[in-house]
Structure 1
């Protein structure tokens, strides 16, 4: 048995335990706990430096996470993901998956998890999640299952798939390389794939049916009933409405969209129809039908001005106050488009004003106090309109996608992912280069970058890197490994495999995958020699354990990528990840025993 750990090793283990408890209890925010952890490391190592180091070395270690390549990679990936969202580059993929989800949401989730897991077998898991993340967020916005209920299962599916091949994650390559240096034969790409696929079949029902039920609904869009806007649809000659009947058209449109003028015959070019729906359903219906709810000339002018001035087109909701000159006017008589260069897309009537007052000649709706206007335009024009005509701007405005740059944003993202996937560039360099191109080409604007980055994720990554280095350099990891080796000699093979896997899982969830692989692989090799067990299954136990990083957000960079989008807390990972870790450890240990006849 090993002797007592050093003072620094005991302090490192105590600090890690305290950080874990603080995260799990949730009384302090993630940012505060992370910053306190960094502060304790900095102050502690300044007054009690590690052997053969200076006090200032401890400060460098504590704050090294803020300049670490892993943090830079995560930030760059977030920026590229933001570029795909604001340009609408992934809308076609979102609509395809949306059609599948409409058949049955549960089937859609299962199919999505299967696709994610398969792709991560042949492409590094981080790029796969980066590509899928904005698609799932977009699906949630379109009415599918909330992102907070799907992103952790999606991440777990990606990690399970990445575990199945030697090229699935960089950690797998590291373990295989260390094992080869220790004298073991080289493993091919699909050497242990059948074992992982069998374990995945056991775990997938949990990911699919149980995990979403354990996660909260953190979406905000459904907390209040979305407003329905009424407007007049112009049917141009090229519209999909022309020649189709009401029943034929409604089959293609969103469920919360309606055409209020129901006719028995086919629609004709030049018709003006009363329609209603939420902002999202109106947008989707107009895209499908190729119709217009605002004069084409003002929409074209807004887009030309946006391109010339390099500004985003916004859609805002504005309330008509008692002092507004618009009261009792219609949109056609208000002169809004001519005066301000903005387009009103629809009018929402409060419940007390559901009886529309229409102009007897044109049929247009008269504007009343309390109405909510859905207005599109550039920021300056919208602000002038609100101030001059006494309108109150509501929160929750939406920036229209810059679709002219959608192809460019997709090319940058897929180019970066491709270069990293085939190994031509490290993921950090590929992601950073992609983020720079997103800025240089205008796909992402500098003044909008704050929306892509999460302060919570940034300080959490920095704290996790610091704590991982302290665990390794203080000797805590080596002491734990020695204690593990001393206690395994009387256990059966299955228990030995499970213990090694759990030990590596503990390291990977609180330090890093690289630390777990570097420490765990030689330990497993030596334990196999000491106990007379085959080396390969114990090395695979280390490899699998390095990938069981489901229980904490600091375990792997993909865990951190989904944290902000899902609005997750530390407890969400712990509650859903621990059962999955236990399922995978038990299944993989049993499969290794059966496969190698131990």
Structure 2
């Protein structure tokens, strides 16, 4: 007969349920619920310590998440992802996928999901998501599907692919190792892959067509006015524009860029292209066409100075005020480049130009005179730009942004690739690879110390710490073991098919609220014991545990990749429940049926 759970086990289950309810309601915020959970565990264990422990041991357990390797790993992965973004290392891949999404959004998403599944079969799922995450964030910024509609499906595809081989996740290795220690024959890498591939094919339409519709567009609205800047690009002697037809170039430009007075015939060196569009679109056109929007000598000077001082080149918007020295002057006569070492890339005039006007032609020739209210798009170092604003009575507007440090793009890609490769072949644990990669990102200047805060998410940090604390108390209090014993007693009278489904569902619930390691450690011996008692082959029941450990879609605390996407997608706890629970039910049903058919139970 099953004994009643201990006082601490009951308390652990109550805390877990209360935390889940708090997250599901989204009130108060995720951060507050996480911190309150940690506080309750710390206070409870201080006054009611676990057997054979001191009151202060409870404090260590409650706050252990902040120093846990999983949290450190996640932070290190975020920093490496930031390094790829700020150096522009992912732009080629982003451009390729962007063209695919522009051609057909649905086909682009389908190809991405299938590629994610295939990659995670051979490479640990965490590095795969780390590589894909900044690409899809960049795609969202370029106008493809919003990140909030793609990251959860992408994460689910990575987790399903990781389930397909014994090396796909560390959890798979753990389950197979425990089963081998219990006397089962060791499974090969692709031992159960056909079962997962069939289940993945059944789940793919849900990930592709249904899941994005269940997610909101969490894109932050840009409240700044959409200013359209006019810029003139000079065709350089050795640039990619020379000898090209404009009709061949236009498809490579952002949709919001307009080319005015398009030239006839092939482009010639020193020829000018007049373009207009929002700041980001004009910058993208400059990068794509590699045209010069300012004199080459001043742009080279800015780059040399930035490299010498180890500073970022930034782009700002500066408004011409009534007291400005620039009023009535042209750009060449203003001497801006000589005086301040900055370059004016484009001009926005409140009366927006919609076509080729005399004023636009004056700008292209350098004869346009600045007027009060004009907004200049200027690039340079921060100190020089501030001096320019002070010296010429300009108002610095919102819209400052750093230019990618493209000279370090290859370096950041090599660092990330090295971290992923060493972790995927098992040379180093993912925690060590990620930490080493983050350190190298700092030492090489790919990521700067004063920019680290932009890479990290406070919500994710406290959520990870709270989930680790809850998983620790669920295991230490005996709650997980008691639930396993209750399950084994309740399954004795059920047919084999229902036994499989019940074991998988139990492990799935455990993995979504505790951890994969806890679910694997508790679930594998229980499955082996139930198989012995009921006279069933142990392998399908152990596989039910393995599959259940990977069905961690329903909560952000279930797995570290779930938490990695939380900040980038601006997700709430309810988003995981709404999209993850149907996927869990679909996968449990599909995998249970496939196990029954495969092993003829």
- Per the shorter chain, which TM-score range? over 0.9
In structure 2, stretches of 5+ residues that fail to align are none
Is this contact kept in 1: 2:224–2:398, CA < 8 A?
A: no
Is this contact kept in 1: 2:353–2:360, CA < 8 A?
A: no
Q: Which residue of 1 aligns with 2:550?
A: 547
When structure 1 is superposed on structure 2, of 277-286 and 134-143 the one drifting more is: 277-286
Is this contact kept in 1: 2:38–2:63, CA < 8 A?
A: yes
Is this contact kept in 2: 1:171–1:546, CA < 8 A?
A: yes
Is this contact kept in 2: 1:238–1:290, CA < 8 A?
A: no
Is this contact kept in 1: 2:316–2:400, CA < 8 A?
A: yes
Q: Post-superposition shift, 1:331?
A: 2.0
**Pair 1:59 & 2:62 matched:** no
Equivalent residue for 1:565, pick from 544, 565, 568: 568
Change beyond 3 A, Cα 1:212–1:358: closer
Q: Which residue of 2 aligns with 1:464?
A: 467
Equivalent residue for 1:413, pick from 402, 413, 416: 416
**Pair 1:101 & 2:101 matched:** yes
Change beyond 3 A, Cα 1:133–1:514: same
Q: Secondary structure at the match of 1:251?
A: helix
TM-score, length of structure 2 as denominator length = 0.96
Q: Which residue of 1 aligns with 2:595?
A: 592
Q: Secondary structure at the match of 2:52?
A: coil
**Pair 1:488 & 2:491 matched:** yes
CA–CA distance in 1 between the matches of 2:123 and 2:564? Answer: 17
CA–CA distance in 2 between the matches of 1:188 and 1:556? Answer: 25
In structure 1, stretches of 5+ residues that fail to align are none
Q: Which residue of 2 aligns with 1:475?
A: 478
Aligned residues: 598
Change beyond 3 A, Cα 1:494–1:322: farther
When structure 1 is superposed on structure 2, of 114-123 and 381-390 the one drifting more is: 381-390
Q: Post-superposition shift, 1:265?
A: 2.9
Q: Post-superposition shift, 1:193?
A: 0.4
CA–CA distance in 2 between the matches of 1:359 and 1:157? Answer: 52
When structure 1 is superposed on structure 2, of 108-117 and 224-233 the one drifting more is: 224-233
Q: Post-superposition shift, 1:525?
A: 0.8
Q: Post-superposition shift, 1:320?
A: 2.5
Q: Which residue of 2 aligns with 1:152?
A: 152
Q: Which residue of 1 aligns with 2:92?
A: 92
Is this contact kept in 1: 2:262–2:273, CA < 8 A?
A: no
CA–CA distance in 1 between the matches of 2:262 and 2:36? Answer: 63
When structure 1 is superposed on structure 2, of 309-318 and 215-224 the one drifting more is: 215-224
Q: Which residue of 1 aligns with 2:76?
A: 76
Is this contact kept in 1: 2:87–2:407, CA < 8 A?
A: yes
CA–CA distance in 2 between the matches of 1:225 and 1:204? Answer: 40
Q: Post-superposition shift, 1:224?
A: 6.5
Equivalent residue for 2:382, pick from 368, 379, 382: 379
When structure 1 is superposed on structure 2, of 441-450 and 169-178 the one drifting more is: 441-450
**Pair 1:370 & 2:373 matched:** yes
Q: Which residue of 1 aligns with 2:208?
A: 208
Could you say what the CA RMSD is over the residues aligned between the two structures, in angstroms? 1.7
Q: Which residue of 2 aligns with 1:244?
A: 244
TM-score, length of structure 1 as denominator length = 0.97
For each residue in 1:244-279, what CA deviation from the matched residue of structure 2 results, as whole angstroms up to 9, or x when unmatched? 333233233232222101233333222223211223
For each residue in 1:332-377, what CA deviation from the matched residue of structure 2 results, as whole angstroms up to 9, or x when unmatched? 2222211211111111233577777458593644333333221111
CA–CA distance in 2 between the matches of 1:148 and 1:367? Answer: 42
Equivalent residue for 1:510, pick from 500, 509, 513: 513
CA–CA distance in 1 between the matches of 2:314 and 2:478? Answer: 55
Is this contact kept in 1: 2:253–2:285, CA < 8 A?
A: yes
Is this contact kept in 2: 1:298–1:341, CA < 8 A?
A: yes
CA–CA distance in 1 between the matches of 2:486 and 2:86? Answer: 52
Which runs of 4 or more aligned residues in structure 1 lie more than 4 Å from their structure 2 counterparts after TM superposition? 221-225, 351-356, 358-361
Q: Post-superposition shift, 1:405?
A: 1.1
Q: Which residue of 2 aligns with 1:131?
A: 131
CA–CA distance in 1 between the matches of 2:406 and 2:157? Answer: 31
When structure 1 is superposed on structure 2, of 324-333 and 465-474 the one drifting more is: 324-333
CA–CA distance in 2 between the matches of 1:221 and 1:375? Answer: 24
Change beyond 3 A, Cα 1:556–1:93: same
Q: Secondary structure at the match of 2:252?
A: coil
Q: Secondary structure at the match of 1:21?
A: helix
**Pair 1:395 & 2:406 matched:** no
Q: Within 5 Å, give how 1:163-174 maps onto structure 2.
A: 163-174=163-174
Q: Which residue of 2 aligns with 1:441?
A: 444
Q: Which residue of 2 aligns with 1:23?
A: 23
**Pair 1:192 & 2:192 matched:** yes
CA–CA distance in 2 between the matches of 1:137 and 1:226? Answer: 21
**Pair 1:579 & 2:582 matched:** yes
For each residue in 1:503-551, what CA deviation from the matched residue of structure 2 results, as whole angstroms up to 9, or x when unmatched? 1111111111000000000011111112222211110010000001111
For each residue in 1:29-48, what CA deviation from the matched residue of structure 2 results, as whole angstroms up to 9, or x when unmatched? 11111111000000000000
CA–CA distance in 2 between the matches of 1:6 and 1:515? Answer: 19
Q: Within 5 Å, give how 1:286-297 maps onto structure 2.
A: 286-297=286-297
Is this contact kept in 2: 1:357–1:366, CA < 8 A?
A: no
When structure 1 is superposed on structure 2, of 350-359 and 226-235 the one drifting more is: 350-359
Q: Which residue of 2 aligns with 1:311?
A: 311
Is this contact kept in 2: 1:142–1:280, CA < 8 A?
A: no
Equivalent residue for 1:527, pick from 525, 530, 536: 530
CA–CA distance in 1 between the matches of 2:238 and 2:403? Answer: 23
Q: Post-superposition shift, 1:243?
A: 2.9
Q: Secondary structure at the match of 2:149?
A: helix
CA–CA distance in 2 between the matches of 1:356 and 1:213? Answer: 48
Change beyond 3 A, Cα 1:106–1:477: same
Is this contact kept in 1: 2:408–2:446, CA < 8 A?
A: yes
Q: Which residue of 1 aligns with 2:2?
A: 2
Change beyond 3 A, Cα 1:483–1:135: same
